[in-house]
Amino acid sequence: MKRYFLALLIIQILFSSCHHENHNVIQSFCFWKTNLSFDEKSDSLVNDLKLKHFYVRYFDLDWNPYRKQAQPLASIQSIYFNKTNCQFTPSIFITNDVVLNSTKVQLDTLANRIYNRVFAISDAYFTQSASSYANQIVSENYEKQNGENKKMMDTEPIVVKRKLELKKNIQDILIDCDWSEKSKENYFYLLQKIKIKFPNYKIEATIRLWQYKYFEKTGIPPVDSGLLMCYNMTNPESRKTENSIGTNNDLEKYIVHNKYNLKLNVALPLYSWSLVFRGDKFKGILSNDIDFTKDESVFKKSGDNRFILIDDVRVGNMYLRNGDEIRIEKISNSELEDMISTLTDKIKIDNKTRVTFFSFDKKYINDYGTQNISNYYSQF
């Protein structure tokens, strides 16, 4: 009898140690283009995927060596969510050169400039969206009226109320920077200044995999949460690389502990690209809309994800030569599932964890399928 209970106890212990509790994570996507313009198909994808959140890239900051200061680049031109109503996080990418070369005084100024630019872009979105909403309400109200004494409602109160509602959709700001051990002091100083400028918002910072693994050297940023970037794991410009976007084997080399003392959200890849090599030299990235299997007179398959050019040809804006090699990179469903398993084994996941995919593009979403993507979320 004692042996029976001992065996039962061992089975229970083994079961509990292997059991992974799934959570209702916050389902998110990244939008990284300069023009966010949703249509009915976009709204439909948001609904099908049950998305609750977006990271929206607002602008980049790079170092201008001539003016010796940070310079904004590639600002988002418009934000139009159509009927989608999700929370979203304004995201700012800052190059390591900016934090390396800036003085403390410049960083103080930069925090203020970031605040002003984020406020201006957000306010333009609030105003445009609220005005469009108010005009629709007024128009519908006017059409419902009968007789000669039809009156137009005043749009201003509707706009004011709607703007207040829209502002609730922004709860935090993401700062994206691949900081180094050398730039750590300046970068953390900038983050502290940004937190002061945004007292009513949470501040989140991206965490590269190497920064996670070697946190004792790189430090943990003084923010409210981190976004762990689980893609772009190896050098895409090396011809020897099989898949620079990432593999679970690559991920396992970084997720080796659970000692990171910061609440982490997770970003995973949901995209593909084609890389061109001439000999061992990287030549560029091709459009992902090309099907290399369709024209065997130009493209010859040379491996699982590789093609050789057998003729000179122009593809998009790039001229390719006979002998050039193309490497197609995409992460398979099974590989993504293995990566999720690796993450959930070490990273603390709860119902407040955001799981986001890069990036929100109809082609990528259709390639993977909404059902597969929904299954990825459910595995957390």
Q: What is the pTM of this model?
A: 0.91
Residue corresponding to tokens 């004692």: 2
pLDDT in tens, 345-378: 999 999 999 999 999 999 999 999 999 999 999 9
128, HSE (Cβ side, Cα atoms, 13 Å): 13
> How far, CA to CA in Å, does 279 sit from each of 5, 128, 235, 288, 316?
66, 51, 16, 22, 21
CA distance 168 to 43: 20
Residue corresponding to tokens 């560029």: 284
- pLDDT string in tens for the chain (380-residue length): 555 555 555 555 554 444 557 889 999 999 999 999 999 999 999 999 999 999 999 999 999 999 999 999 999 999 999 999 999 999 999 999 999 999 999 999 999 999 999 999 999 999 999 999 999 999 999 888 888 888 999 999 999 999 999 999 999 999 999 999 999 999 999 999 999 999 999 999 999 999 999 999 999 999 999 999 999 999 999 999 999 999 999 999 999 999 999 999 999 999 999 999 999 999 999 876 677 777 788 889 998 899 999 999 888 788 999 999 999 999 999 999 999 999 999 999 999 999 999 999 999 999 999 999 999 999 99
| Secondary-structure percent of the chain, ordered helix, strand, coil, rounded to 5 | 40, 25, 35
The number of beta carbons lying within 10 Å of the beta carbon of residue 47 is: 12
CA distance 280 to 272: 21
Tokens (6 digits) for 240: 């020897």
Residue corresponding to tokens 């396992």: 252
